[in-house]
Amino acid sequence: MAAHTLTLTLVGGPTALIEVGGFRLLTDPTFDPPGLYREAPVRFEKTSGPALSPGEIGLLDGVLLTHDQHFDNLDNAGRALLPTTPVTYTTLAGAGRLEGNAVGLAPFETRELQAADGRRLFITATPARHGPVGIEPISGDVVGFLLGLDQPGDTLYVTGDTVWYDGTAEVARRFAPKVVMLFTGAAEPRGRFHMTMDSNDALEAAHAFPDAALVAVHNEGWVHFKESATELATAFATLGAATRLTPLDRGVPRPFTL
- Whether residue 254 lies inside any domain: the answer is no
* Domain of residue 191, CATH code: 3.60.15.10
Distance between CA atoms of 141 and 71, rounded to whole angstroms?
14
Reference 31, options 13, 16, 57, 49; nearest CA is 49
Cβ atoms of 152 and 108 within 8 Å: the answer is no
Residue 70 lies in a domain: yes
For residue 20, is it within any domain? Answer: yes
Of the candidate ranges 79-88, 94-103, 149-158, 192-201, the one whose mean pLDDT is the lowest: 192-201
Report yes or no on 256 lying in a domain. no
Looking at 2-6, 63-67, 97-101, which range is the least confident one? Answer: 2-6
pLDDT digits (tens, 9 = 90+) for 6-24: 999 999 999 999 999 999 9
* Domains in the chain, number: 1
Residue 2 predicted with pLDDT over 70: no
Q: What is the mean pLDDT of the chain?
A: 95
Q: Which domain holds residue 106?
A: 5-248
Q: Domain for residue 111, yes or no?
A: yes
β-sheet with 62-64: strand ranges across: 102-104, 88-90, 62-64, 23-27, 15-20, 5-12, 254-257
Which pLDDT band holds residue 135 (cuts at 50, 70, 90)? confident
Residue 253: inside a domain, yes or no? no
Distance CA 32, CA 45 (A): 11
Q: What are 223-251's pLDDT values in tens digits?
A: 999 999 999 999 999 999 999 999 999 99
Q: Is the pLDDT of residue 100 over 60?
A: yes
